[in-house]
Structure 1
Amino acid sequence: MRISLNWLQEYVEINLPAEALADALTMAGFEVEDIEDRWTWADGVVVGKVLQRQPHPDADKLSVCQVDIGAAAPSTIVCGAANVRADIYVAVAQVDTYLPIVDLKIKPRQLRGVPSAGMICSLAELGLAKESDGIYIFPDSEDLQVGQDVRPLLGLDDVILDLTSTANRADALSLVGVAREVAAITGQPLKLPLTPNPKLQPGRSQLAIDLPDAKACPIYIGTVVEQVKIGPSPVWLQRRLEASGTRSINNIVDITNYVLLEWGQPLHAFDRDRLYAAAGSDDLTLGVRFARENEALKTLDNQTRSLSPQTLLITANDQPVALAGVMGGEATEVHDGTQNVVLEAAYFDSAAIRRSARSQGLRTEASARYERGVNPAELVLACNRALQLMQALAGATLTTQAVERTEVGKITPTRTLELRLDRVHQMLGPVSEADGTTTQLSAQAVEAVLSKLGCEAIATDQTAVWQVKVPAYRYRDLEREIDLIEEIARLYGYDRFADTLPGGAEAGHLSPEVALARKLREAFRAAGLTELMHYSVTKPTAENQVVLANPLLPEYSALRSDLIAGLIDAFQFNLEQGNQALNGFEFGRIFWQDDNGIHEAEKVGGIMGGDRRQGRWVTSGQPQPLSWYEAKGILEAVFQKLGLAVTYRTADTDARLHPGRTASLWVRGKTPLGLFGQLHPELRRERDLPAEVYLFQLDWPTIVSCLQKRPGEAIEFQPYSSYPASDRDLAFFAPVEVTVADLARVITQAGGKLLESITLFDQYQGQNVAPGQRSLAFRLVYRAADRTLTDDDIEPVHQKVRSALAKKFQVNLRS
């Protein structure tokens, strides 16, 4: 928001330079994006009187003027403006004057043989207009003196601050709100433009208000203003609007914009006679309702807008005439022939206006303030201010006023918060004194800051505890005790608090879970996988997904229920972009819902596949897809580095994975860890992916619970054996339904400490093997840590293994 310091001076005395005030506002939590010093725009420009004007002897479009600027002799100035003439007062840039807006320094020069010493300026050259048809002529010459500075006459004796406030400070979108803030910072008294209730002169106009939605519009004030004289606004009003970045239209519209900037309360003026025409009757009822199907309205920007059920409307006898809190309608706008006006002052629900403006793709100065929230307690003050200005500047007569308040509108927004001095000290810490010492913030200082904020602090029976009454204009912002503490720090000065560290601080360290996550990431990267990251929102494809109520886009309208779908999409996308096959892993959260509510879990997923080699000359240019055992080996290498003992069991729980090449993972055969499998061939063909793609999804909490060390628990070192190993082969016929994993588990249990490793090196089905059977051959490696094993050591253990297999699975031993 653009803040004119000259205008602001009316409400609070400013005794700081513009730069110092900008710094103070910045330290108080506001952002001053620009300081526009208008004093520099016309430094050296004075009032001049054109004494004589003669045509240029060598140029038809130039004039040679004799101009009195208060010097000993008139100045000769060559001017190219068509509206220059004798006996007018103009703005003259003297020699050596610099005009920064047009980047021009005035120097004496010859124009077609005629010397010229100075320049008669237009408003564009002084920065007060984008374009000008000619030079500026002062309209009132009675009080003008030649040679006087033009800046006070043109409103250039001002500084404009371009101020941005945070979203929670709706009160700062007005001159009054900024004045309150400056008064709190500087300690100067506040002078608000309070206006008494207007006196009505009863007329024949009848006006009624209908508010069917008590929440969307709790308060509506309609005032009939008759016998208005439409015309240009006075110069002071036009300059204030221009300084704030608002274009002057006519006195009635300018007054509504002026009050909007002053109080932050949007107002709207209707042409009363046009309202009658739109309503079809002189018996007028203004209403506020949401739009119905197939309704349309032509707004002030000359756009015919199709209305949606979310659009909030102002109606005249149920006929749409304006977008409530956003923009008026063209059919009822104030124009040059307007004689009677209906002034609207209303309080709309911020959420309703936000949805309404978004449904039309509109954002205006009015909607921006309603969306943040205006102060209903100051609605009458703003309305009275506008009516006072209409009487003073447009000769208006006030005849009828209708005020409607719903039950919601009758409730004055008030709030009382408890503030504890101990909590203030705990949150803000000590204050640095000028002599370098530190002390705690005193109760008197806290009370002084609260008083500056407009809050009323009432002491309670408890020591250093207050009941703080929040003013209505800060009702939306100050909701909790911590909000008051923040305001104390902001106004007292963040830089005045000690910058010491709190006592008892200790060196930072990684939590065991974070350290484990880093270790797992290192293990995956060491295995050749790249870490991936996807959005948690995706398309809704499953019934158990959590669907967002208000998504930004349909493609991102549900939370993901697993990591596998996103990994498949990423794999396909990389191939389509001409990249190699993607081998990656991802840490992420998944979400799902069931009869017990909405659930959330953290998972670790990954995808592997394709031929990762850079060249294929060894295989004559033919790709060599990743095999099941290679993919399983990558995963097992990660598990081995972590020290996680994982077993595999047949599974077919995911339709996206190959039913015969999918395994469930278990930690120590007891705790479920996740899923690993090959992508289903049909899905692979649909996505045009390589021959073999493998995916896994692991449960992160399970990994943490299995690997996280207890505090103080030492890591046990296992030395390598320096003694040789001895191997034995074991071959047998086993039923097909018995898995190798089950066989290996029984062998491990029976082999005990001497059994170092098990390897399946042969499998056969076919001739000479009974139906339903298969021939398996394992190599068992035995080793002791303290001695070289002999046959007498190995043979009892090996026989125990054979007996365990025969007893457990009824295998037919061959060796």
Structure 2
Amino acid sequence: MKFSWKLINQFIDLNEMTLDHFKNHLTLSGLEVDNIDNIENDKDKVIDLSITTNRDEIYSAFSLAREASTIFNIPIKILPIRLNYYNSVEYDLKKLVNHKYTHIEYTRIIHLGAIDNKKTPKWLSSELKIYQIKETSILNNIQEYIKMKWGKTFYILTLQEIKERKNLKQHHYFSQLCDLQEITKLLNNTADQLSNSKLLIFTTTQARKDYVYLTHETNEFCENIYNDSIKLINTIIHVRIGKYIERHRKIVVKDKSIKVKRDSIHKCLGQVIGKTYKFIDTNKTIEILKQLKLRPEYNKEEKVFKVYIPDYRKNDLTREIDLIEEIGRIYQFNYFFNQIKKDKLKGYQSKNSIKIKKIRSALRNLGLHEVVNCGITNNLKRNNESIKIYNSITNERKELRLNILESIINNYQHNRKHSANNIEIFEVGKVFKRDNKNKKEYIEQRHIGGLIYNIQYNRNNWQEKPNSINFFHFKNVMETFLIKINSTATLKKIVNNKDIRAIDNVKYLLKKNTKMHICNQNNQTVIGIIGELNDRVIGKSQIKHERVYIFEINLDDLLETAYLKNHLNYSTKKYSYYPSVIRDVSVTLAKHVDIEQIKQIILQETNELIESVEVFNEYKKNDKIPIRVVSLRVKYRSFSKTLSSTDIKKIDLSLEHKLKIIEQV
């Protein structure tokens, strides 16, 4: 929408303000300036604004000046003129006087004499062009000009329309607040030419004097609009102004109020830049709310601001967050921290919780997906340790589970029905069983279980089809898992099949010949079991020619074997900036001589310039002759200079002498 800079300055003094300053602050306040054009003939500037749908009240020069007055805290130059409605006739549709009224609904009807056809002045034509309004009759042009200037205008009605009762429904005030016969009689007595006479209707709703907080904040400038309109009509048209009729009605208009919590303002807007740990001051917030013409009231006990919304912002300000946005818009958002302050304090984490996170991470890194199952189920193998539930909801869930694996096997069956080729899952959960010593007591433990089914695990040759996982692959996966979590537990072959408390409720799920124990090295106790899933558990027909491997471990026992690395296992040393020289030598050694001893002799008893000795080849002639030839790669380097040919010769001679001694050993 386009606005005239001249027209805006009739309401507010912005001449001392640069257009760039005006543009930047208006954009920061939510009214984006698309373009500013210069009109040289009229010495005016046209401001093109992008008005959002929630700010549809900004459609005139006065409304934009009112918004600029709020943003820049500059007073409006034109003061309102209060309506003197006491001379008008009070008219109530129900013939009742409202003594508790808050506002006055007011109508003024003016009779104009005959209007001659006159041309529209150039200045008025140029103003209409800015707002892209087509010119019609002179009176209609004045009507449109008043509307784009003040945001409100007068209605035009001919006497012929009154006689024929046309278009009366469009004019609410005229049809309800005025007696048609009385108006017709009055106007007929004063009008000479009925066809050329017109009526101007001015309407407004004004607050009662003692009800208004500040007059200039709530009044809609109706009397100013009337004076401006009559002045233009007299000046441009030179028409005779006839008699007028006034009517008013007392009504009740409820104020729209919204409460804003001070904590909500601090939470949304945050802290102020340059003032650490400080938010917007309460007095500053009250000043901003007054600047927004919201009539604030602050409750110190509840720490709540109560504001009253003016009529022209009722569609825009409806929620608490809208008012918080208005406060930030006036205070300007660039004065707040643009980043959320991070709290560096961390809560205490136990070592076991850190270890469990590491266990989950290690299994995910090995390709397993975590699943979560319900702890209430029907156990496949029922024994004295099963714990039944009273008044169970369904028959499928009557007991607390004895192990993790049965739930995971159900997940496997479900996925296989939906043609899943690779299933690699694990779960961390609780298991329950009775205490053997005291049957009335129950034991609750944390276990970790998993299942791997993969028919495309590896391939021996790129030309061949991939093979499924076997027991040795699965054993390697479990060993890698124990290494990743820094566990001292080891896998051991099962020597006998005696009942072991830790895995008694799991071992029936595995095949006899393909299973191993996970043992704690410190006390040699079994903490878990791994192996191949028994065909009888889910039926041979379902898993024919398929290998499924499972494991279950007591999590608490596993945590005892795992440790956290709190230090580095390596040290630092000085690094030389000079290049190295490499010599390859061969040494003939007896079969029983350890090469590590030879390397230590070379490093310790020869020149300090030898940096390292590595073995890169070994040759044996045959097994009958117990002699072998070992090739060594020796690296020379100095920390103080680049080695010269003389230095290298000295090292070579010393090395050859020592190698001859070594060969005689």
TM-score, scaled to structure 1: 0.36
Larger Rg: 2
The structure that is strand-richer by fraction is 1
TM-score, scaled to structure 2: 0.44
The structure that is helix-richer by fraction is 2
